[in-house]
């Protein structure tokens, strides 16, 4: 039977072996614009994994278009590095492409040695908090030529194609949008004038690279910005790109960085934005590539087979598992390590000025370290605890050739990953638990469930090395009344072990407290299939349906001692979670301290004094403590050991998996 994902496709005259397109992602790995060994090995690994086409970048077109951690394409001196990267991609079986871009007002003067960013108009960005300089006409013409010269360098470096970023709130989309373009010359005003800059960029590139060199544009299908551009104008722009500017393919992005609609997090359903690529595919005759939250082969196949797109952009999916294409082609999809859209190692790292890593794949970003070598002397390794840290350690140790056994006291592997998967929009964490468990079984790691490890078992098994990954347990703070029957732990709520009343107060506004609040606030709201049924049959108005989708049956209040909730979320996730806190009517009482739990509620000290909050259920989300009671027992045996994950220090799943991997490969 035909597999739409692995049929070849032509972009201009270039034949691509399959429909999997790795889009450009800022990796934070360049050094003063130069391609590094880290970048080369990162992309070489994805090429070996079977992606049909790999686009690197974005790459700069002039001194104001990016920063030193971007790949440079604005000077000839960068061509040798670009060429080395092109060869690494092509020699390992993929087609190669470079995305070029100008950040416009999205650049920071901090990265420009104090120089002012430029834009169509002097309108401040909510993202940078800076006001750019409005471009003069001659400066616009120079930037157009800069794009063309950068594209020519890409061709000279040996790439198979060039892509231009014309979306996401960067310079070309700033010209396109009436929100950021308030010019009164030929580059501003109506749509025809606002499109002029982008179209002139593409025409200038075409003139430099010739008619046979593939030119791709990555553009928004909807910018999701108030007073910005929606689908209708962008469909007209797509038509102009294909028919007037001679663009050979369109990769459909979504939203600006400032947009308040989640685009990359797990709250976004898989393939949710393919309707935008469909809308553009309906009006152009060139190949159209769908983007965002396409993290598994089945979703990708369906989108192509159902004419939603011609190719699929799988970026973070191939960070998590470079070999996803090869595994899908070979019928080994159960072995795929899926991206769970946590953004902890990719986007959140960039805000910290760190290079890209991955929660799911601790090897991502460290490809230069080489393959995991077989140990000279295989050892018997006991892993105590089958959560994310323990499974990661066991998998790494097994790859080293050791005899590994996981001992888990419960009846399943996964640990707190299942807790993390309970709140709405976080279900992907359960997929990670399943993926890690599958890897453990396929690698023939010994797994013993319902087994508590004690001194007798250690002495009987006589391991050569022990990894203690026993996780954490929830804290019970010394609040008077905490022993009352209507007081429960957040972990029990998330696991579905307890029922809660109508009025719920959550003590603790960290990540667990916020997630528990959202889980409870959605109780009684209409699920997606019911909403669709009612909407399609016009049973209720859209306004009523929105209300029924966001107002549940519980009154939820969060009490937090500091001045903010959700501070331990990553930056990419936090704003969306807090937006939902407001949307679902969760009340937050900040700088508030729980004084006493009573039979009818909770007594709280706030800035305004003492307040009694009535409640049917009190949920404790006050953090957790490490469970590592076996440390003393293991020390007495003199067996070498590591303590990892929450057993060592309370952290995030990212920390647990990376610590586990490092512990496993050190044995």
Residue 353 domain-assigned (yes or no): no
The pLDDT of residue 136: 97
Rounded-to-integer distance, Cα 159 and Cα 153, Å = 9
Do 588 and 451 share a domain, yes or no? no
Q: Are 508 and 491 in contact (CB under 8 A)?
A: no
**Tokens 């027992």 -> residue:** 633
Which of 282, 314, 340 marks a domain boundary? 340
Which of 320, 340, 360 marks a domain boundary? 340
Coil vs helix vs strand at 226: coil
Do 388 and 514 share a domain, yes or no? no
The pLDDT of residue 67: 92
Do 521 and 558 share a domain, yes or no? yes
Do 616 and 653 share a domain, yes or no? no
**Tokens 């709405």 -> residue:** 424
The range of the structural domain enclosing residue 588 comes to 487-622
Residue 349 domain-assigned (yes or no): no
Those residues whose C-beta lies under 8 Å from the C-beta of residue 665, and which sit 6 or more positions away, are 372, 396, 397, 399, 400
Do 22 and 93 share a domain, yes or no? yes
Number of domains in the chain: 3
CATH classification at residue 189 = 3.20.20.70
Residue 548 domain-assigned (yes or no): yes
Those residues whose C-beta lies under 8 Å from the C-beta of residue 38, and which sit 6 or more positions away, are 29, 355, 365, 367, 368
Residue 633 domain-assigned (yes or no): yes
Do 643 and 588 share a domain, yes or no? no
Q: Mean pLDDT for the chain?
A: 95
- Tokens describing residue 207: 């003139």
Q: Dihedral of CA 328/333/335/336: which sign?
A: positive
SS (H, E, C) 401-465: CCEEEEECCCCCCCCCHHHHCCCCCCCHHHHHHHHHHHHHHHCCCEEECCCCCCHHHHHHHCCCE
Decide: residue 163, CB within 10 A, 0-12 exposed, 13-18 middle, 19+ buried: buried
Q: Are 281 and 307 in contact (CB under 8 A)?
A: yes
The torsion angles phi and psi of 313, rounded to 5 degrees, stand at -90, 120
The pLDDT of residue 373: 85
Do 303 and 431 share a domain, yes or no? no
Side-chain half-sphere exposure of 648, counting CA atoms within 13 A:
18
Do 417 and 517 share a domain, yes or no? no
**Tokens 């007209």 -> residue:** 236
Coil vs helix vs strand at 555: strand
Rounded-to-integer distance, Cα 329 and Cα 339, Å = 18
Q: Rounded to whole angstroms, what are the CA distances from 183 to 22, 193, 237?
A: 36, 10, 19
Residue 361 domain-assigned (yes or no): no
**Tokens 């209720």 -> residue:** 540
The pLDDT of residue 571: 84
The pLDDT of residue 253: 95
DSSP string, 340-390: ----TTTHHHHHTT-----SS-TTTT-GGG---PPPSS--EEEEE--SHHH
Residue 639: other Cβ atoms inside 10 A? 15
Q: Are 166 and 242 in contact (CB under 8 A)?
A: no
CATH classification at residue 600 = 3.50.50.60
Residue 520 domain-assigned (yes or no): yes
Which candidate, 446, 376, 448, places its Cα nearest to that of 411? Answer: 448
Which candidate, 448, 418, 443, places its Cα nearest to that of 431? Answer: 418
Q: Rounded to whole angstroms, what are the CA distances from 345 to 59, 106, 355, 365, 510?
A: 21, 22, 9, 10, 20
The pLDDT of residue 301: 97
Rounded-to-integer distance, Cα 346 and Cα 136, Å = 36
Decide: residue 276, CB within 10 A, 0-12 exposed, 13-18 middle, 19+ buried: buried
Residue 522 domain-assigned (yes or no): yes
**Tokens 């909770």 -> residue:** 602
Residue 627: other Cβ atoms inside 10 A? 15
Do 493 and 448 share a domain, yes or no? no
Rounded-to-integer distance, Cα 43 and Cα 22, Å = 10
- Tokens describing residue 355: 């290079």
The pLDDT of residue 248: 98
pLDDT digits (tens, 9 = 90+) for 571-589: 888 888 899 999 999 999 9
Which of 340, 363, 387 marks a domain boundary? 340
3-state percent breakdown (helix, strand, coil) of the chain, nearest 5: 35, 20, 45
Residues of the chain with pLDDT under 50: none
E strand intervals along 110-184: 118-119, 133-134, 161-166
Do 630 and 617 share a domain, yes or no? no
The pLDDT of residue 265: 87
Residue 366 domain-assigned (yes or no): no
Do 451 and 525 share a domain, yes or no? no
- Tokens describing residue 531: 């909403």
Do 290 and 416 share a domain, yes or no? no
């Amino acid at each position: 039977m035909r597999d739409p994902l692995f049929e070849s496709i032509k972009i201009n005259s270039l034949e691509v072996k399959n429909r999997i397109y790795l889009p450009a992602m800022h990796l934070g790995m360049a050094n003063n614009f130069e391609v590094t060994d880290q970048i080369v090995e990162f992309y070489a690994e994805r090429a070996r994994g079977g992606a049909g086409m790999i686009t690197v970048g974005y790459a700069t077109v002039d001194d104001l278009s990016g920063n030193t951690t971007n790949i440079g394409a604005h000077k000839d001196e960068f061509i040798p590095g670009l060429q080395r990267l092109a060869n690494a991609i092509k020699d390992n079986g993929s087609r190669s492409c470079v995305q070029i871009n100008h950040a416009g007002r999205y650049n920071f003067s901090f990265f420009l040695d104090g120089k002012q960013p430029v834009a169509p108009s002097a309108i401040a960005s909510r993202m940078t908090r800076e006001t750019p300089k409005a471009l003069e006409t001659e400066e616009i013409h120079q930037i157009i030529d800069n794009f063309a010269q950068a594209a020519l360098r890409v061709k000279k470096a040996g790439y198979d194609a060039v892509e231009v970023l014309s979306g996401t709130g960067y310079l070309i989309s700033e010209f396109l949008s009436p929100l950021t373009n308030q010019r009164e010359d030929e580059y501003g005003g109506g749509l025809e004038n606002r499109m002029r800059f982008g179209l002139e960029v593409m025409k200038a590139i075409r003139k430099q690279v010739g008619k046979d060199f593939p030119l791709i544009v990555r553009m928004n299908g909807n910018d999701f910005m108030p007073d910005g551009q929606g689908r209708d104008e962008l469909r007209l722009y797509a038509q102009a790109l294909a028919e007037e500017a001679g663009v050979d393919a369109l990769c459909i992005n979504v939203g600006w960085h400032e947009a308040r609609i989640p685009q990359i997090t797990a709250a976004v359903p898989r393939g949710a934005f393919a309707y935008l690529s469909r809308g553009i595919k309906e009006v152009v005759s060139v190949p159209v590539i769908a983007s965002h939250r396409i993290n598994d082969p089945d979703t990708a196949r369906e989108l192509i087979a159902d004419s939603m797109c011609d190719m699929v952009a799988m970026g973070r999916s191939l960070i998590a598992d470079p070999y996803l294409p090869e595994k899908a082609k070979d019928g080994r999809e159960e072995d795929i390590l899926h991206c769970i859209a946590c953004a902890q190692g990719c986007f959140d790292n960039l805000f910290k000025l760190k290079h890209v890593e991955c929660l799911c794949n601790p090897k991502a970003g460290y490809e230069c370290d080489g393959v995991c070598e077989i140990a000279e002397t295989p050892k018997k390794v006991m892993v105590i605890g089958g959560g994310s840290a323990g499974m990661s350690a066991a998998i790494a140790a097994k790859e080293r050739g050791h005899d590994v056994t996981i001992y888990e006291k419960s009846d399943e592997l996964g640990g707190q990953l299942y807790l993390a998967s309970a709140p709405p929009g976080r279900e992907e964490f359960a997929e990670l638990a399943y993926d890690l468990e599958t890897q453990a079984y396929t690698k023939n790691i010994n797994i013993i469930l319902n087994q508590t490890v004690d001194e007798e078992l250690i002495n009987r098994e006589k391991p050569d090395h022990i990894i203690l990954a026993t996780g954490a347990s929830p804290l019970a703070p010394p609040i008077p009344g905490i022993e009352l029957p209507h007081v429960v732990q957040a972990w029990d709520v998330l696991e579905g072990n307890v029922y809660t009343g109508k009025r719920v107060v959550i003590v603790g506004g960290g990540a667990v407290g916020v997630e528990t609040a959202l889980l409870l606030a959605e109780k009684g709201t209409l699920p997606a299939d019911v909403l669709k049924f009612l909407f399609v049959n016009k049973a209720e108005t859209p306004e009523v349906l929105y209300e029924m989708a966001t107002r549940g049956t519980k009154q939820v209040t969060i009490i937090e001692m500091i001045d903010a909730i959700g501070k331990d979320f990553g930056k990419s996730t936090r704003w969306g979670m807090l937006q939902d806190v407001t949307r679902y009517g969760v009340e937050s009482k900040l700088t508030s301290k729980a004084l006493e739990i009573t039979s009818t509620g909770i007594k709280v000290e706030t800035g305004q004094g003492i307040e009694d909050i009535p409640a049917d259920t009190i949920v404790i989300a006050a953090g957790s403590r490490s469970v590592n009671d076996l440390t003393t027992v293991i020390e007495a045996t003199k067996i070498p050991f590591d303590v990892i994950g929450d057993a060592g220090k309370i952290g995030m799943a990212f920390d647990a998996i990376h610590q586990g991997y490092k512990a496993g490969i050190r044995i």
